[in-house]
Structure 1
Amino acid sequence: MRTILHSDLNNFYASVETLRHPEFRDKPLAVFGSIEDRHGIVLAKNNLAKAFGVKTGDVYWQAKQKCPDLQEVQADFSAYYDVSSQISEIYEQYTDKIEPFGIDECWLDVSGCVKYFGGGRKIAELISEEIKRKFGLTVSVGISWNKIFAKLGSDMKKPDAITEITKENYRTLIWKLPAENLLYVGRATKEKLNKYNIFTIGDIAAADEKFLCDKLGKWGEYLFRYANGFDDSPVAPKSADKTVKSVGNSLTSYRDLTNFEEVKLLLILLGESVAARVRQGHYGKAHTVKVSVTDSFLATHGKQERLSVPIKNAKEICERACRLFSEFYDWSAPVRAVGVSVSDFANEGEDLFDFAPSAQKNEKLDEAVYKLKEKYGHNCLQRAEILKDKRFFDMDVTGGHLVFSDDKKDER
């Protein structure tokens, strides 16, 4: 039987900032994306800020309203990645099967060394003690025979705790938890489950699998397996193949967006950013375009489209993204953040016969724009409509993310 750990660094951003700014140690502290504008939401907070009701996702003025004495720090991701990388070296003392789940969480498959170190709990204790000694940070660790239950274990007790989920105790510990505690069950899925009197993880486990598949599609099968402890997905080793599966980028607006024309500006910025990344990486043309949205309640929504003819130029990506957004988003809440990604890259030579004049024209235009931006900076040339909002025009959208394996996200 496998031994899987899930390590979750407690209040990671805020904890790192407290180490960098000892003067904030005994004060409520929040880390923001930006302090100058509301492109700045709360990304992390310490326990003192949490006691005042400050929540991740609060906008700047909301957080300050809840806690007038709140100390604010602007996020420094380079510092967080540096600490995260150093902590990874501790994990590597026990296994090379380390799968990140964000900058501050990861799974470790330590099955190969449990006998040598005396069991999964002993390894968790050693990791926790070394992180505390070297970095002054605390970690919550879940231990189980599968990734899903290990993640639930790390979430059950915080901060600075170790929780073991076994085949003997999981029904008692796990099945009583709310359904939304299960990984990948978001607000929309929770509401669907509740409609059918499914409120706990145990209710999911006891439900008819075919019924769940009928109501939730493929996610019904996943959730049934997860709730019953049947997850057998491997922890990806650090040496795993790094073939790029998708290229994407996302932006959080400095204010809530309330109509399509406002969202369109972000979609244009993101589409052009993604097109530049695809061209820079020589990934070729993509068969799939995906749009994701986070609303003002922090619920996520998304839709993707599989294209018969692959694309890679900015104009086509932007147009597809705008159309997708219009098709799925119902404006039940304002929009806070938007993401665009492309995937399923065409095999070499698959698009050799795309001789349409419009395609060739767009390709030449894209290449010319890309070379200008490469030489003079991303913002040297922008579409005129972006000038409708000066702050969008000034945004740095050159960042992005690469996905190296299939994502499983709860989108609605």
Structure 2
Amino acid sequence: MDRTIIHCDMNGFYASVELLERPDLKNVPMAVSGSPDNRHGIILAKNELAKRCGVVTAETIWSAKKKCPQLQLVRPHHDKYKKYSQLINQIYDRFTDMVEPFSIDESWLDVTGSLQLFGSGTAIADQIRTTVKEELGLTLSAGVSYNKIFAKMGSEYKKPDATTLISRDNYKELLWPMDVSDMFFVGTATADKLRRSGIATIGDLATANLSVLQGLLGKQGGLLYDYANGLDESPVAYAYEKQKIKSVGNGTTFRRNLESAADIQTALKALSDTVSSRLRAYGMKAGGVKVDIKDPYFKTISRQRQLESATNITEEIYTAAYSLLKASWQLGKPIRLLTVTGINLTDEDEAEQLSLFARNVQDRQKSSDLDKAMDTIRSKFGGQAITYGGILKNDLGIHWIEENEEEE
């Protein structure tokens, strides 16, 4: 028997949450954006009126304003988005315990075992849409199918506030005429490569020679062939199954370009502070550190290294990040954006063998104690209650960086 899977995707999530408290903006084009003052000048979300004006997510504020001069901008409030994401997923839990969040505003639900209680997959999706609208004042689009890929594509098929069923009987009719770029997991570069090979639609992808696809795209070619043909058996995780965190990172665009060593040290210390704090909150340690650097011309490089000992200590993550940057970037060359990421994560209490070259155990303990003391103060008085002296009164727009506002 086929599974019944629903993919729920909130409509303009950030913008919709903001409109709950700003009904005065409901009938005008509006968007949630980063701060133009700090050069976080991209659109994070938009309402339907802004969408009709051609405003798209991740474009610059300047470009959006050019398309839509009357566009009203609202600063993001990530704490509210997290709160509503939790409330939404609690509604999903009423229909099944097999809920797998895909992002803050998207989740897959396997409702195969709930059909006798609530009706067909389409009926359940409609009940969920109605419940979310009545209880939270938000709308979502849902895709219903026999696998996760088609359910995801179904939620994109018709928006806003709609349910689309993609079945074994209709998927060729609905999906195959679509542009190949609309296939889930097909990015811009892959779509261009496929088009140059004469594969312009999802139907072309589904009926292409498999060996040709694999020669063109490697393993990905075989996966995309399967997905276009509805061959996907990947499971939906249980709601209470611990999600394995693969990395913890944070990045920001600065108020001005970083040019001096002092600028870079200030930025990396602030980013390392938030990454290490989040690692400790998750009970994790990083076995490696990755640094992404973007210049004013949007050229990006990424470098990473394995650490001698897994850590969630700010000083050690900062030292590794700064060492990476110095080895791969010419000091004095301007930097627009930096991201620091802890990778190769392990549980905090997992036993480890310290390297002979690792920092003195007493020194590590002192640093760890300092970090935990700062965590305690921040939990009581807020993220900006305490920070490192070198970060104070900088002109880079850096304080306690709680959210990743990295440009796409």
TM tier relative to shorter chain? 0.7 to 0.9
Q: Which moved more, 1:355-364 or 1:310-319?
A: 355-364
1:390 corresponds to which of 372, 392, 395: 395
Partner in structure 1 of residue 99 of structure 2: 98
Partner in structure 2 of residue 248 of structure 1: 248
Alignment of 1:8-407 (within 5 A): 8-34=9-35, 36-242=37-243, 244-254=244-254, 269-279=270-280, 281-286=282-287, 288-291=288-291, 307=306, 309-312=308-311, 313-319=316-322, 322=325, 338=339, 340-345=341-346, 348-352=350-354, 354-356=355-357, 363=364, 366-367=367-368, 370=371, 373-374=374-375, 380-381=387-388, 390-392=395-397, 394-398=398-402
Relative to 1, partners in 2 of residues 1:280 and 1:149: Cα closer, same or farther, differing over 3 Å?
closer
**If the length of structure 1 is used for normalisation, what is the TM-score?**
0.78
Residue 110 (structure 1) shift: 0.5
Q: Which moved more, 1:312-321 or 1:176-185?
A: 312-321
Write the distance in 1 (CA, Å) between the matches of 2:230 and 2:294: 30
Relative to 1, partners in 2 of residues 1:129 and 1:367: Cα closer, same or farther, differing over 3 Å?
closer
Relative to 1, partners in 2 of residues 1:203 and 1:129: Cα closer, same or farther, differing over 3 Å?
same
Write the distance in 1 (CA, Å) between the matches of 2:281 and 2:138: 38
SS at match of 2:233: coil
Tell me, yes or no, if the aligned pair for 1:4 and 1:107 is still in contact at 8 Å.
yes
Corresponding pairs, count: 390
Tell me, yes or no, if the aligned pair for 1:41 and 1:60 is still in contact at 8 Å.
yes
Write the distance in 2 (CA, Å) between the matches of 1:294 and 1:200: 34
Tell me, yes or no, if the aligned pair for 1:174 and 1:201 is still in contact at 8 Å.
yes
Relative to 1, partners in 2 of residues 1:175 and 1:160: Cα closer, same or farther, differing over 3 Å?
same
Tell me, yes or no, if the aligned pair for 2:6 and 2:144 is still in contact at 8 Å.
yes
Tell me, yes or no, if the aligned pair for 1:289 and 1:320 is still in contact at 8 Å.
no
Write the distance in 1 (CA, Å) between the matches of 2:318 and 2:142: 46
| Counterpart code for 2:253 | S
Alpha-carbon displacement from aligned partner over 1:85-139 (angstroms, at most 9, x marks no partner): 2232322221011111222211111101223333111111222222223333322
SS at match of 1:5: strand
Write the distance in 2 (CA, Å) between the matches of 1:285 and 1:341: 5
Structure 1 unaligned residues grouped into runs of 5+:
402-410
Write the distance in 2 (CA, Å) between the matches of 1:276 and 1:205: 46
Structure 2 unaligned residues grouped into runs of 5+:
379-383
Q: Which moved more, 1:135-144 or 1:104-113?
A: 135-144
Tell me, yes or no, if the aligned pair for 2:290 and 2:321 is still in contact at 8 Å.
no
Q: What is the percentage of aligned positions where both structures have the same residue? A: 35
| Counterpart code for 2:353 | D
Write the distance in 1 (CA, Å) between the matches of 2:214 and 2:149: 19
Write the distance in 1 (CA, Å) between the matches of 2:212 and 2:260: 36
Residue 234 (structure 1) shift: 1.0
Partner in structure 1 of residue 381 of structure 2: none
Write the distance in 1 (CA, Å) between the matches of 2:78 and 2:250: 16
**If the length of structure 2 is used for normalisation, what is the TM-score?**
0.79
Write the distance in 1 (CA, Å) between the matches of 2:83 and 2:183: 30
Write the distance in 2 (CA, Å) between the matches of 1:131 and 1:368: 44
Residue 364 (structure 1) shift: 6.4
Tell me, yes or no, if the aligned pair for 1:30 and 1:42 is still in contact at 8 Å.
yes
Tell me, yes or no, if the aligned pair for 1:373 and 1:381 is still in contact at 8 Å.
no
Residue 372 (structure 1) shift: 7.0
Tell me, yes or no, if the aligned pair for 1:49 and 1:70 is still in contact at 8 Å.
yes
Write the distance in 1 (CA, Å) between the matches of 2:79 and 2:156: 26
SS at match of 2:103: coil
Tell me, yes or no, if the aligned pair for 1:52 and 1:67 is still in contact at 8 Å.
yes
Residue 65 (structure 1) shift: 3.6
